[in-house]
Amino acid sequence: MVAKSVFSVCGMCTVRCPIQVTVEDGQVTFLQGNPHVPAMKGAVCPRGAAGNALITDPERPQTPMIRVGARGEGKWRKVSWDEAFDYVADKLQEIKDKYGAKGIALTDRGGPFRDMHRAFLRGLGSPNYCNHDSSCARNVQHASLSITGMGRKSVAYDFKNAKHVVLQLRNIFEAINVQEVNNLMDAMENGCKLTVIDIRATVTASKATRYFQVRPGSDYAFNLAVIHELMKKRLYDEKYASRYIEGLRDLEDFIEPYSPEWAQGETGIAPAELRAFVRELVAAKGAVIWHPGWMAARYQDSFYVCRTAYIVNALLGSIGAKGGMPLVSKPGDVGRADLKAFVDLYPKPADKRADGLGWRYTHFEEGPGLAHLMYEAIGSGDPYPVKAYIAYRHDPLMGFPDPDSLKKKFDNLDLLVAVTFSWSDTAWYSDVVLPLSPYLERESVIATKNALKPQFFVRHRAIEPRYDSKADWEIVGGLAKRLGLPELVFDSAEDVWNFQLQGTGVAIADFNATGMVNLADKPIYRDMDRLKFKTPSGKLEIVSAKLEKAGLQSLKPFEAPETPPEGMFRLTFGRCALHTQGHTVNNPLLFEQMSINPLWINSKAAAKLGISDGDTVVVSQRDYSETTVAKVTDLIHPEAVFIIHGFGHKIPIESRAFGRGLADQNFMRGGLDKWDRAGGAIAYQEHFVSVRKA
C-alpha cells in the first residue's frame, strides 16, 4: 500500500485553508495544513479535520435528481447526468426565450473559485449574479469603499506584526482562519494586546487583554466615543492624518457630542475604562488592527460601525502600515500577468439588474449584488420577471431571515436548481438537485490570492468521487454544451488550467511541489510616504461623495437601538469552532461533538424565569415556538439571548441533525425587509423573542 500526498484547499468553510491530503489505496487517511505555508503550522481546525466524514457520509446527495412531488415534499426521481443537464438546459432556454436572459439568476457563496459559473451566467446574457454577502460582509465592503475607494480585501491584516488588535465584529478563535489565529497567537506571545468588544464573552474574549461587554446595538456609540477621545485630545497620528486623511475638520465637528461620558449611557462602559483603552491604542500607533468585521449583517447601523472602525485605523496611521492593515499586491503590482478569466469571454450584459444595483441604488458595488433584493424581485416581478434561479453551493432558506416568506417568493419561479455537495433546505425545496463533488473529490479552477506576497493556488482532486457527483467545471461544461457556450466546455481539469495560465509564464507542473506558485519572493510592504488610495482625492475620505449623492450621511448621528419589549430578549447568533452554518450539523464527526445549539441566557434573567442551566426551554415569537436547552451564564448581556446558527434542520434524510436545536432564521419574520440602507446588508439582530421553561 503506497501513500501519496495531494495539495488541495479545504472546503469545510469559506476560509479555504491550504491543506495536504494523505491518500492510501484510494482513501483519505490524514488531513493537515499545507506544510509549505508557515502560518498554517501543519494545522487544520475541527471542521477541516472532519473533511473525510463529509465524503463518507451516505446521507449526502448521491446522484442528480428531479422533483416529482410538490416543492419541499421530498419526492424525487433519480436521473442520469445527461437527463439532468438536458432538463435544466431546456428549462433555461424556454425561460430565456420567453423573458430574456435577465429572467435567470444565480447566487453562490462567493470566494476564489467562482469565475467559471459566473461566466456561464454572463454567457447566457443575464446580469443577475449575486453572492451570499448581503447576509455577511457587505457592510464591511461598502464601508471600505466609502473610505479608501477600495474593497475590504485590498488590505491584509498583519496580525503577526501587530501591537494591538481590536475584535468587535470578528470572533477569530471560533470563526477560524487558521493562519490568522496562528499569527495572532504569535503576536500575543510577543506582547501584542487583544481587546474584544462584544455582547457575549466568546472564546476570543477569554483570550483578551481587555473585554468590553457592551449593550446590544451600541457598538456605533462605543466607536464614536473612541474617535471623540482621539480627536479632542489630539491623540491621533497627525503626520499621517495631514498627509492621507481628507475631511478631518468634518469629523472633528461631527464628533463633538459623543464623549465617553455620553457613551456610558448607551454602552454601559465606564469612561475611565474607555480612556485607558484609547491610551493603549495610541501607544501602539501604526501597528493597530481594529478589525472592521466579518459577519457584520447585524443592525441597521452596522455599516457605520464598520466605517468608524476604518476611521479609527486611519487616525492611528494603520491603513497601509506594517503591523496594521497594509495594502495587498496583485499580480500586476509585481510585474506578473494574472490568470485569464472566463468571465472576460463575454460582454457585460446590457440589462439592468433585478436587485436595483447600478440604477435604483447607485451607491452600492454591483458585482456581488444584494441577494435579498433579488429575492424581492423574484416575488414581485419588479422590475421584471425572474423565473429561473440557480443556488450554487448556497442555502438562502437557512442563510436568510424568514424562510417561509422566501419560499413564497420562490414559488414564482419556473425553475429552482440546487448545485450542492450536502443536503440543505434550499436543495430540498428545489426542482433539480445537481450533486457537486465534495472538495476532496473535485478539482477547482486555479485562483489568484492578492496578498502581501501574491500567489496562484489550486485545489487538486485527492480521491475519485464515491457517488455520481461532478466537479464545478464538469457541471458548468455540461450545461454550457447544451446552451451554446462552447468556450466553457473542457475535456479535463488540465485543459481548464491551461486556459487560465495562458500568458502567465506558469505551467501546471509548477503547482506540483507545494500546491501554489508564489509571484513574489517575500512580503511587500508599501512605502508609507507614497500611499495612494482609489478615492477622488487619492486620500482616505471621511465624507463620501457617493454616499452623500445618494442622500445618505457619511457621518450619521447615533440612534439608540430599540429596547426589547417587556419580557423579551434580542435574538443574536454566531459561530463556533465546530460548525459552519448549516452544512456541517449532519456531519457524523462534528454532530458527535456538538449535536444541539444551547440558548445562552443571562443568569439574572434566567433566575426571574425559573430557568436553570441545562433546562429545556421554549423560545417563542408571537404564535411560533421551538425548543432547545438553556446555557445559563453571566457571560452574556441581560438584554440578549444567543444561539449558534445552523441548527433546527427539518430535512428527513438528515437523520442526525433532524429536529435538533433551534433555527434562528425562523424567528426573523419580516426580516428580509430589515436591512442597512447605507451598507446593504441584512439586519439580523433586530428581532425579539420570549423564553420560558418547558
pLDDT digits (tens, 9 = 90+) for 155-189: 999 999 999 999 999 999 999 999 999 999 999 99
From residue 110, give the alpha-carbon distance in Å to each of 36, 115, 337, 368, 669: 26, 10, 23, 8, 26
Confidence (pLDDT) at 3? 87
Digit-coded pLDDT (tens) for 236-249:
999 999 999 999 99
The C-alpha angle with vertex 495 and arms to 490 and 497, in degrees rounded to 5, equals: 120
- End-to-end CA gap in the chain: 55
Phi, psi at 47, each rounded to 5°: -65, -45
Confidence (pLDDT) at 36? 97
Confidence (pLDDT) at 1? 63
The C-alpha angle with vertex 419 and arms to 417 and 424, in degrees rounded to 5, equals: 90
From residue 11, give the alpha-carbon distance in Å to each of 49, 437, 442: 11, 11, 10
- Mean pLDDT of all residues in 651-656: 94
d(CA 470, CA 479): 12
Closest alpha carbon to 370 in 449, 297, 427? 297
Report the chain's mean pLDDT, rounded to a whole number.
97
d(CA 455, CA 593): 36
Confidence (pLDDT) at 2? 78
Confidence (pLDDT) at 582? 83
CB atoms within 10 A of CB 38: 13
pLDDT higher than threshold 90 for residue 565: yes
627, 618 contact by CB (below 8 A)? yes
Which cell goes with 676?
442597512
Digit-coded pLDDT (tens) for 205-253:
999 999 999 999 999 999 999 999 999 999 999 999 999 999 999 999 9
Digit-coded pLDDT (tens) for 299-356:
999 999 999 999 999 999 999 999 999 999 999 999 999 999 999 999 999 999 999 9
Digit-coded pLDDT (tens) for 90-145:
999 999 999 999 999 999 999 999 999 999 999 999 999 999 999 999 999 999 99
If you search the block for the grid coordinates 424556454, which residue do you land on? 94
Q: Which residues pair with 27 in a beta bridge?
A: 24
Confidence (pLDDT) at 28? 96
Phi, psi at 574, each rounded to 5°: -175, -155
Helix (H, G, I), strand (E, B) or coil at 289: strand
Which cell goes with 63?
446522484
Q: Which residues pair with 574 in a beta bridge?
A: 644
Digit-coded pLDDT (tens) for 576-607:
999 988 889 999 999 999 999 999 999 999 99
Between β-strands 569-574 and 688-693, what pairing exists: parallel, antiparallel or unpaired?
A: antiparallel
DSSP states of 339-351: PPPGGGGSPPP-S
Confidence (pLDDT) at 101? 98
- Name the percent of the chain lying above pLDDT 90: 99
- Name the percent of the chain lying above pLDDT 70: 100
All domains of the chain in start order, with CATH: 155-327 (3.40.228.10), 568-693 (2.40.40.20)
Q: Which residues pair with 194 in a beta bridge?
A: 165
Which cell goes with 16?
479555504
d(CA 199, CA 209): 16
